[in-house]
Amino acid sequence: MLRFSNFLFPESRDPARDADVIADCIAEAKLCDALGVEVLWLAEHHFDGNCAYVDPVTFAAAVLSATKRIKVGFAVAQVSLHHPMRLAEQMSLLDNLGRGRVIVGLGRGTAYNVYEYQGYGIPHEEALERYEEAEGIMLQAWTSPDGFTHAGKHWTLKVPRLRPTPFTQPHPTMIRAASSEDGALHLARRGVPFLMNVQTNETTAKRLALYSAAMTEAGFDATHVARCLDESWVWRNVVVAPTDEEARRIGIPAFEAMQEHRKTLREKIYAEQGIIMKRETAPPARVGIDSGLVVGSPETVAAKMAEIEATGVGGVICSFRLGPMPAAVAAGSIRLFMEEVAPRFADRVAAAAE
């Protein structure tokens, strides 16, 4: 059965409205909890207003306190911007606060926004190596009851013991991001599930086929491969309304405005400093309306979700509040999705079991 989650990635263009947008986010988290959404994913972006709450670690504590059953995942924590021991402590605390409701999604950090690294005083060229070293430190911190020492390129540590100890043993649930085919294959060889970015269904299907084959070649059995596929997620922007026409009227302008706003500060920094990490060179198929946005009536959206299910991925990270879209509009879209789209997939599984 295809699983569904919500990516809480709220834009705030006006600093004077940050508090209101953050309050909207808590309300959206409560709504998702009440409607039975499986996971609420949190982003991390700094300085540009593209993610109003900015710090997902702090915000996750508020969400866990405001909800009862929904899992809270990170998509992703930008590990290269954090001290690994501080992040390990924070995630362990969240794991205890949620009594196992946390999914620690890890990634190196943005591949586009150089100003996020500049603001933290971290050379963006070091992002990947910092992430890889930090991930190892975090895992060691969670699983070393007698403490440990670490001597690496970026950190030299002598840790007595991590407290609080994780609620989930041997460590909090983890998942990694992979935005490229090579990244997916690297995780396949480790035998772990992964998070995918917005992409065409053709790309998702191809990537998962290669991922499965690489995992099998690495010696993992069919049961393990199937579990990893079930626990892997792909991101889609989603707008649901009573009719296709209304959904497109609401969704397309919001999607286009969101895409434009996310490039604004990046292009400003490039104009001022001549520094850019990576240009937006992806073809329209990845970020365009046809494949970057799932939009329509419940019937249309359900059909598009069935196409995603056919790729073999286990779950969809649905981003409902796009760009300047009002919170009430996003809430209506979430409600329609969970009441009229999601049950169709549960019903199919139930019918097949009879």
Give me the number of domains the chain comprises. 1
Residues 91, 138 contacting (CB under 8 angstroms): yes
Supply the CATH number for residue 38's domain. Answer: 3.20.20.30
- The C-alpha atoms of residue 55 and residue 43 are separated, in whole angstroms, by 8
- The C-alpha atoms of residue 20 and residue 288 are separated, in whole angstroms, by 30
What pLDDT is attached to residue 205?
A: 97
Which among 80, 186, 76 has a CA at the least distance from the CA of 127? 80
**Prior bond of 56 cis (ω within 30°):** no
Helix (H, G, I), strand (E, B) or coil at 157: strand
Provide the β-strand partners of residue 44.
none
**Prior bond of 76 cis (ω within 30°):** yes
- List the domain range (segments joined by +) for residue 237: 3-353
What pLDDT is attached to residue 352?
A: 53
- Residues 146-149: contacts with CB within 8 Å, 24+ apart? none
What pLDDT is attached to residue 287?
A: 56
* Element of type H or E holding 7: strand 3-8
What pLDDT is attached to residue 64?
A: 98
What pLDDT is attached to residue 291?
A: 78
Structure tokens at 65: 């306190």
What is the block-wise mean pLDDT of the chain (354 residues), using blocks of 10 residues?
97 97 98 98 97 98 98 97 98 98 95 95 96 98 98 98 97 96 96 96 97 98 98 98 98 96 92 85 53 94 97 98 98 98 80 53
Residues 296, 304 contacting (CB under 8 angstroms): yes
